[in-house]
Amino acid sequence: MVYTEIQEKKGKKYYYRVLSIRKNNKVTKNRIYLGVDLEKNKLSKKEKKADKELMLLSTLLEEEELKELDKIKKEYLKLPKETRDNRYEAFVSLFTYDSTNIEGNTLTLQETSQLLFENITPRKSLREINEITNHKEAFDFIIENKKDVSKELILKLHKLVVKNTLKPELKNQIGKYRTLQVYIRGTNWFPPKSTEVPKEIASLLSWYTKNKKKLHPLILAAYFHSAFETVHPFVDGNGRVGRLILNLILRKNNFPMINIPNKKKYIYYEALESAQTKGDLRPLVKFLLDLIKEEQIRF
């Protein structure tokens, strides 16, 4: 249950929003400090904001779902090393195909696979071909990378993902936070101003550092992905970079990676929008959970 706790000290009232959880006959409490001597309207706003955070931290995965994820993780870690290369080629082909197709690339899955592993170049635009080869290079980078998510890693991924694909007038934006305002088709909200991007990403990275050992990796990855896409820190490539980081977080926690199919992109968009506009992360977590359960290629 969630409630507001009031502690009086030296004539002042200190307000805390508390989430009480009973697990294995024990009660644990997560608290968020709201403020001191708050007026009713201000207290109500702070309570709503705190409730979103508390729900993110504690209740997004049910007990049975946690057990399913634990089983998936154990089975994944037992997969034979002999099939690793085969699983890698199958997964990177599918992941690259779907992640670029979501953004409008027209190469088929077969064309993507042949380009990446047989050096057969389809009759498509150079930009689309570069998007495919760039994505694999960025994927290989997160596979080989030993470091955690950071500003440097994010900017490196962007540089790998969008090189030789942007219009000439946008080349100065490669590997850098955007200096322009961007807009997202199909939504009625706008990403933050370009001047706010560095602060927003720094805040997200700080949140990640504080919570990476507290939250389940799937919740951690889902929240980071939602927040990253909300900031939209680049002029282009936000979705591809965001999905790569999502998978980097899972991989660092010994979970298999997740491919978001292009055919399910509208479900994906709806789940993202629910998190971005309503503060409800559960649809995105459930969507990713279903994908990881259904994924036939464990990598």
Q: Domain extents for the chain?
A: 2-58, 63-294
**pLDDT of 107 strictly over 70:** yes
Among the listed residues 142, 171, 170, 172, the one whose alpha carbon sits nearest the alpha carbon of residue 156: 142
Instruction: Report the top-level CATH class of 63-294.
Output: mainly alpha
Q: What is the mean pLDDT of residues 251-280?
A: 94
3 state DSSP class of 5: strand
Mark 260-299 as b/e (b = at least 16 C-beta within 10 Å): bbbebeebbeebbbbbbeeebbbbbbbbbbebbeebebbb
pLDDT band at 2 (very low <50, low <70, confident <90, very high): confident
Which among 12-16, 20-24, 69-73 has the top mean pLDDT? 69-73
| Structure confidence at residue 277 (pLDDT) | 81
Q: Whole-model pTM?
A: 0.83
| 51-87 pLDDT, tens digit each | 777 665 567 899 899 999 999 999 999 999 999 999 9
- The pLDDT mean for the chain works out to 91
| Measured distance CA(256)–CA(219) in Å, rounded | 14
| Structure confidence at residue 240 (pLDDT) | 98
| Structure confidence at residue 189 (pLDDT) | 74
